[in-house]
A and B are shown apart, each in its own frame.
Chain A
Amino acid sequence: MVTRLQTTNSTLDIAAIVANLKAYDIIAIAVILIIAVIIAKICTTFLKKKLSDRMEKSDLNVLNSIVWWSIILIGIFFASPHFKIDLSGLLVAGGILAVIIGFASQSVVSNFVSGIFLIIERPMKIGDNINIGDITGNVEHIQILSTIVRTFEGIYVRVPNEKVFTSNIKNYVSNVARRFDYKIGISYRDDADRAIMIIRDIIEHEPLALKNPEPLVFVDKLGDSSVDLLIRIWAPSKEWYDLKMSLLVKIKTALEANGVEIPYPQQVVWVQQAKSAERGRGHEDNGR
């Protein structure tokens, strides 16, 4: 005996359903729902433990609610045969509704799933200095649907998680240390070995220019106007930019104080000599 769900007039004869339930069905429903609740509890506790330091509390609550109700609904689905309900009408309506919602929420779901993967993969943390596409700044929040970046100009940028997930992410502070380079040209008249020694001494006295990996200073190129020195320095990732800004001035000042010239781009043209030579030849011709 099957009690048919009245989908046409949207009424559900609950009393009839309950009346048709046998003791075995009630026990089965209770067991299935209890198992679903236990599984949901385990899953949400696990998520809380694993994600509480990686996600904002509000996002975590939303995620936990979604996981909780999804598991409970799956439990109800498994228990539904024991209710002796014919769900065929609901399934058709539900199927159509699912297709509509699916199309409408495609980007939302995509951002949501990307957000989950970003939280698991963790390519960046709050406060990290990052670049995503053409956006460079500090990560302010990693939310379930979007990531908030504050650019160096102080502008608020909301980046959908789908874009973050599918873009190349440059995290400038993910590693504990990073290298930066300077290129400094000195005059051909100056002693390159002495200039290298002066620069090495400045780096040695800079606390945050790391001892290891060893800084490198070497002649990189014999340029048109200068002997180009390449300087490679490692610094703690969170300090490299301040160091880069302050150290170059110190190197310039030290080189100048020691008489090492940093030349402008220049080209030597021997005009005077050529004219003199021509004039000399003219005199010779006249003489003949």
Chain B
Amino acid sequence: MIQFTVYGTYDYSCHIREDEISIDVERTSRYLTYRRMCRGESAERTIASEKGSIIINPVEPLNLPKKVTRYLEIHFNPIFVEPETTRQLYLTFPVEIGVFIRAKEDNDLLDVFSPVLPKYSLYGPPDYGRVTRWHESSIYPDVPKTDPLREGVLDLTLVNEGKTWIEVSRAVFVNAGMTIWYGDYVLMSAKMELYSNMVAETKILSTPGKNGMTRSIPAYSARKVSVVEVVPEKGVFLMEFGLGDKIADN
């Protein structure tokens, strides 16, 4: 059976072909063999399991080519936000594709890949800053059309808490449980409270997606990362090195 949609739950004999992605799970004598091809790169895993399922869903884009940071930075054209107002806009964010294996109520991450070439950056100075996964986005007034295998839609609420106009052209989020939903498109919601041109607070929200959307299994929880590593900032990130292209030297 050949599926033409990638995200979803599959049994142990699945063959998926989509664009430049191919995934095959086959039983070979006593074991299962998982094979994946994407952008000319391949991965193979051997699975010892009798009954279970394969779950493929979008995961937070912080795993490739290796895990070097917990921060996602989205850069966009500058937007001026009126004092003491709340505005909603849509951005895009990169997604990675997580393949999970599930049996006896337990998930584990089997593979992560992406047809998108990742790029990293630095937010802040080299001594106190944060290495970030970098993404360039346009600003959209409505949900933009995206390729769910490459990009998701970020529903961002900007709240200007100050009494002056604030110019924003970047948002940095920490991964302390990025709640990603998928259906016709991939969705994540976030809030950014602006305090000045230099300081803002960001948070990924766990707001449920639209009807019919499914909640993704995040890669970090499947890897059973220690709670101590993920929770300290409670998902809130204080952007203290500027909200625009000009970065403070601290």
Instruction: Give the B-binding residues of A (Cβ under 8 A).
Output: 174-179, 204-205, 207-208, 210-213, 234, 236, 238-239
Q: Which residues of B contact A205 (CB under 8 A)?
A: 117
Instruction: Give the A-binding residues of B (Cβ under 8 A).
Output: 64-66, 68-69, 117-123, 126-131, 134, 247
A179 to B117, CA, bound (A): 22
Q: Which residues of B contact A210 (CB under 8 A)?
A: 120-122, 131
Q: Which residues of A contact B247 (CB under 8 A)?
A: 212
A177 to B124, CA, bound (A): 10
A179 to B119, CA, bound (A): 17
Q: Which residues of B contact A234 (CB under 8 A)?
A: 122, 126
A176 to B129, CA, bound (A): 7
Tell me which of A174, A177, A179, A204 contacts B131 (CB under 8 A): A177
A239 to B120, CA, bound (A): 12
Tell me which of B66, B69, B126 contacts A175 (CB under 8 A): B126
A257 to B214, CA, bound (A): 47
Q: Which residues of A contact B64 (CB under 8 A)?
A: 207
> A-side binding surface: helix, strand, loop or mixed?
loop
Q: Which residues of A contact B68 (CB under 8 A)?
A: 208, 236, 238-239
Are B120's CB and A175's CB within 8 A? no
Which A-B residue pairs are the 5 nearest by beta carbons? Answer: A211-B121, A177-B126, A207-B118, A175-B127, A212-B121
Q: Which residues of B contact A208 (CB under 8 A)?
A: 65, 68, 120
> If A208-B65, A238-B68 touch, does A178 touch B126 (CB 8 Å cutoff)?
yes
CB of B149 to closest CB in A, whole Å:
18
A207 to B119, CA, bound (A): 4
Are B120's CB and A176's CB within 8 A? no
CB of B210 to closest CB in A, whole Å:
32
Instruction: Write the chain A residue with the least CB distance to B65.
Output: A207
Are A207's CB and B127's CB within 8 A? no
CB of A122 to closest CB in B, whole Å:
14
A177 to B125, CA, bound (A): 9
A106 to B117, CA, bound (A): 59
Are A211's CB and B120's CB within 8 A? yes
A179 to B66, CA, bound (A): 20
User: Can you spell out 29 A-B residue pairs with CB atoms less than 8 angstroms apart?
Assistant: A174-B127, A175-B126, A175-B127, A176-B127, A176-B128, A176-B130, A177-B126, A177-B129, A204-B119, A205-B117, A207-B64, A207-B117, A208-B65, A208-B120, A210-B121, A211-B120, A211-B121, A211-B134, A212-B121, A212-B122, A212-B134, A212-B247, A213-B122, A213-B126, A234-B122, A236-B120, A236-B131, A238-B68, A239-B68
Instruction: Write the chain A residue with the least CB distance to B170.
Output: A212
Q: Which residues of A contact B121 (CB under 8 A)?
A: 210-212
> If A236-B68, A238-B68 touch, does A211 touch B119 (CB 8 Å cutoff)?
yes
CB of B133 to closest CB in A, whole Å:
9
A204 to B134, CA, bound (A): 12
A232 to B126, CA, bound (A): 15
Instruction: Write the chain A residue with the least CB distance to B68.
Output: A236
> If A176-B122, A176-B129, A177-B122 touch, does A236 touch B117 (CB 8 Å cutoff)?
no
Q: Which residues of B contact A178 (CB under 8 A)?
A: 126
CB of A155 to closest CB in B, whole Å:
28
Q: Which residues of A contact B69 (CB under 8 A)?
A: 236
CB of A131 to closest CB in B, whole Å:
18
A238 to B69, CA, bound (A): 11
CB of A216 to closest CB in B, whole Å:
15
Q: Which of B65, B122, B130, B134 has the most CB of A within 10 A?
A: B122
Q: Which residues of A contact B120 (CB under 8 A)?
A: 207-208, 210-211, 236
CB of B69 to closest CB in A, whole Å:
7
Q: Which residues of B contact A212 (CB under 8 A)?
A: 121-123, 134, 247
Given contact pairs A176-B126, A208-B68, A212-B122, a sample of 4 additional A-B residue pairs in the complex whose CB atoms are under 8 Å apart = A177-B122, A177-B126, A207-B64, A212-B121
A60 to B213, CA, bound (A): 52
Q: Which residues of A contact B65 (CB under 8 A)?
A: 207-208
Q: Which residues of B contact A204 (CB under 8 A)?
A: 119
